[in-house]
Amino acid sequence: MSVDTALQRQVRALREQIERHSYQYHVLDDPQVPDSEYDRLFRDLQALETEHPELITPDSPTQRVGAGPLDAFDEVRHSVPMLSLDNALTDQAMSDFDRRLRERLDRDGVIAYAAEPKLDGLAISLRYEDGVLVQAATRGDGTSGENVTHNVRTIAAVPLRLLGGDWPKVLEVRGEIFMPKQGFESLNERQRAQGAKTFANPRNAAAGSLRQLDPRITAERPLTLFCYGTGEIVDHPMTQTHSGNMALLKHWGLPVSPELAVVTGIDACAGYFEDIGRRRDTLAYDIDGVVFKVDSLADQVELGYVSRAPRWAIAHKFPAQEELTVVEAVEFQVGRTGAVTPVARLKPVFVGGVTVSNATLHNMDEVERKDVRVGDTVFVRRAGDVIPEVVRVLLERRPEHTEPVVLPGACPVCGSQVERLEDEAVARCSGGLFCAAQRKEALKHFASRRALDIEGLGDKLIDQLVDTGLVETPADLFGLTVDAVAGLERMGEKSAANLVDALDKARDTSLERFLYALGIREVGEATARSLARQFGKLDAVLAADEAALQQTPDVGPVVAQHLHTFFEQPHNREVLAQLRKADIHWPEHEPVAEPESLPFAGKTFVLTGTLSESRDKVKERLQGLGAKVTGSVSKKTDYVVAGTDAGSKLAKAEQLGVAVLDEQGLADLIAEVGTA
């Protein structure tokens, strides 16, 4: 019977795609499609060959496993082939697998299965002769692989000599070399620090590490091993079950999965699969399913093999955590700290058990590095509860006339200027006082103890004020009434009155506290204090250009740019005007040219005990006079200001002979220098 030429072309095209992806995955360690796409292509080819067996050829991907070895390593021929596993993607496929086995075994009862997580690493064959490791080889094409003995010897989990003395004369052990999640993250951090290429996932990292031509590089990589089976065995009876053999391997010092268990019947298989699925994200390593093997070795022999896989084993795969989809748009979101983050809007795709339509692109550096564009076909990965991310672009599928993604110049939420420094990956909205996306964080900082110190205005109350629409900017706080606040959850009339009083008290502040309260990037307390000394008045700060701002101690080009950008935003200027209208005030003065000219310049003070006003205010007053205020007493301390209940600091000052002042003594000292 002749076969349609179009069908022949379809089969040939499928084989070519599978071989190309297999080469990328097994030889180059650089897969171009996710596993789910490869599996789909493979199943399509299997279906066509099943329907038209005359199309099957010896070199079809369905008749062999993987790809050939790299030329850089010697070839090793496996004495017992290393086969692949068939996959079950649904519960029904698992039930069909169990039914087929019971029919072949002519068994009415249930079957006992050895079950363990399916690791996402690199298959390895270890050959021990007289208990000593003599060879390690990759799976390769299943018949021959690559000799990686020198590299495997560097992996601490692989014993160079077996424990005990009852092992076989020849023992081939099959296992998976992999990289735990924590080791993978540490490795990528080191790669980034060295300016080297990072790895897409732990599987690629493990494969790339094992195939280094220099074993010293492999030795630096956090690789480990779990054993899952055996190959050739000479002069040893072993046991009657797979699980028994795994116990022997463990007895001889070979690591096996701690999750290995024997379950009886298909319902127990489903229970194990569900349990591992629930715990998947808590495991120290990546897995992509569960492997079930008939535990009885006699039953395994009776069941036998198909061309590329044993009949007695199957991999029940989890829903794909990587999938292919198309970028339909790229939008920008603004976070609570002002970070402007690119987000890919995707053609919906089922990944890791959920439908995904959005994925993070992290920042513009990542967008530019991956060259993500609207219309691109991309890898999307979802791991556990982590936000889905675009991993890679398939450039060969890029449509014509696409355009690079460009960072917006204005915030998509409030319209303020978006600021991105040359050496920074993250872009930020500069409208901190006005931007709705940053509203809660801006208010929390504004009210904090070292800013305007608004007593009673905590995080939960700020959340309520914003959520109910009572407050949009810091200026709105000072228009709150007792009646409006008393209507909020857990806020009675007394609490509301206390808050309104605290807000009224906070109107009287200092310029340095006010500048710090604005939440300008990289403007901390010290920088705010320097600005207040340098300019003396808010209007002078607002009028200063970047060059003038850089004349301030602690203010370099980066901070000067942050300040200038913040103050030139109309929305921020509007809120500043509203704050002044709400009678937020502070004493202003003429600029102080040099801090060294202040009366307490070069003097060090320590505050201890309970003072009649807050330590922060006393500290501000002293710093305004040029003093340095520290938290510990030493020989370099000039004065200790002691309030009531002063403790160890007062004792140490007396021991060292440091001058001690009470509050009246401090007031007299300040008055003295003020009239000098």
Rounded to whole angstroms, the Cα distance separating 508 from 405 reads 47
Q: How far is CA 537 from CA 2, 581, 600, in A?
A: 93, 16, 22
Which residues are CB-neighbours of 241 under 8 A, at least 6 positions away?
114, 262, 295, 296, 297
Q: Which helix (H) or strand (E) holds 75?
A: strand 75-77
Residues 604-614: b if buried by 16+ CB within 10 A, e if exposed: bbbbbbebeee
Q: How far is CA 226 from CA 20, 85, 301, 348, 371, in A?
A: 29, 17, 24, 36, 37
Rounded to whole angstroms, the Cα distance separating 254 from 173 reads 9
Candidates 247, 228, 220, 24; CA nearest to 115 is 228
Token representation of residue 366: 């990542």
Token representation of residue 210: 């094992």
Ramachandran sector of residue 258 (left: φ over 0; alpha: ψ -120 to 50; beta: rest): alpha
Contact status, residue 86 vs residue 315, Cβ threshold 8 Å:
yes
- Please identify which of the residues 118, 293, 317, 603 carries the catalytic annotation: 118
Candidates 179, 184, 172, 183; CA nearest to 224 is 179
Ramachandran sector of residue 49 (left: φ over 0; alpha: ψ -120 to 50; beta: rest): alpha
Token representation of residue 224: 């480990």
Which pairs with CB-CB distance under 8 Å and at least 24 residues apart come from 416-420? 416/569, 416/571, 416/572, 417/565, 417/568, 417/569, 418/340, 419/561, 419/562, 419/565, 420/364
CA angle 407, 408, 412 (to 5 degrees): 130
Which one-letter DSSP state was computed for residue 417? B
Contact status, residue 92 vs residue 44, Cβ threshold 8 Å:
no
Phi, psi for residue 130 in degrees, rounded to 5 = 55, 35
Token representation of residue 205: 């990292």
Q: Which amino acid is at 15?
A: R
Q: Which helix (H) or strand (E) holds 118?
A: strand 112-119
Q: Which residue has the tokens 């696409």?
A: 402
Contact status, residue 349 vs residue 369, Cβ threshold 8 Å:
no
118 is catalytic: yes
- Which active-site residues does the annotation give? 118
